[in-house]
Amino acid sequence: MNRLAAAGLDPVKLPRHIAIIMDGNGRWAQERGKERIQGHLQGVVSVRRTIEECGRLGIGQLTLYCFSTENWKRPQPEIDFLMALLNEYLIKERPEIMRQDIRFSVIGRREGLADFVLAEIDESLRVSANNQGMTLCLAINYSGRTEIVDAVRTLAERARVGTLQPSDIDEATIADALYTAAMPEPDLLIRTAGEMRISNYLLWQIAYAELWVTEKCWPDFDEAALYQALHDYARRERRFGGLNI
């Protein structure tokens, strides 16, 4: 019996693209009397098991909110630790990404990221470019508003040089100018730690996404929580503004 059948999941009712706001690392640590960095370290464990399980289930794309543009406001020692942790993750997980045939992708602004982080991002992009399995997309130095600003600038420049008429701009034109061009829109948005907000994440792309929030902090997010989200998603009717008659 395969994993889907064992879990009582219909492959037809699986989301093609799951996006996750991984919230609560610091809270998880503080509740246990630990330093915040211990929460981030444990969060990496949840990242690994979520990627592996989504790959086993045949999810087409998983997009993880790793570092927002607002996170630069955190204390510098924590930022330095997060950048070092990201760099270490990229290096250590690269063989596993290749073994699982995962196609690695990144969205967000490159400006502001350290050269050593950019070098490892680029290497993971390069070696996995021809992989055919699940797409793993990391949102790094990302915000939905800056993404839209960058898209508007791109379209404005095209209009300025005469390659785009303002009257020709439609939803597809804007979507193609976003960081996520050619990616499917998320079907399911998961947020941990019980917060009921989307925190400037994929503002354009989640217009019709199903939202699922758990009280579990990200380090406690496990296969059981993922399966609960998938079961809840499968029971929902997605009308996209219409009616199911």
The pLDDT tens digits of the residues spanning 128-177 come to 999 999 999 999 999 999 999 999 999 999 999 999 999 999 999 999 99
Is residue 73, in this structure, part of any structural domain at all?
A: yes
What pLDDT does residue 240 have?
62
Active site residues: 23, 71
Residue 100 belongs to domain with CATH number: 3.40.1180.10
Is residue 17, in this structure, part of any structural domain at all?
A: yes
Is residue 135, in this structure, part of any structural domain at all?
A: yes
Is residue 48, in this structure, part of any structural domain at all?
A: yes
Which token pair is 166?
């303002």
Helix (H, G, I), strand (E, B) or coil at 138: strand
Residue 130 lies in domain: 3-143+185-230
Under 8 Å between Cβ of 192 and 218: yes
The pLDDT tens digits of the residues spanning 145-159 come to 999 999 999 999 999
The pLDDT tens digits of the residues spanning 190-227 come to 999 999 999 999 999 999 999 999 999 999 999 999 99
Under 8 Å between Cβ of 10 and 179: no
> Is residue 72 predicted with pLDDT exceeding 80?
yes
Is residue 239, in this structure, part of any structural domain at all?
A: no
What pLDDT does residue 1 have?
47
**pTM for this predicted structure:** 0.95
Task: Compute φ and ψ for 201, nearest 5 degrees.
Answer: -115, 120
Q: Which one, of 112, 187, 105, lies nearest residue 138 by Cα?
A: 105
Is residue 203, in this structure, part of any structural domain at all?
A: yes
Domains held by the chain: number: 1
pLDDT band at 6 (very low <50, low <70, confident <90, very high): confident
DSSP state letter for 15: -
Is residue 236, in this structure, part of any structural domain at all?
A: no
Under 8 Å between Cβ of 187 and 17: yes
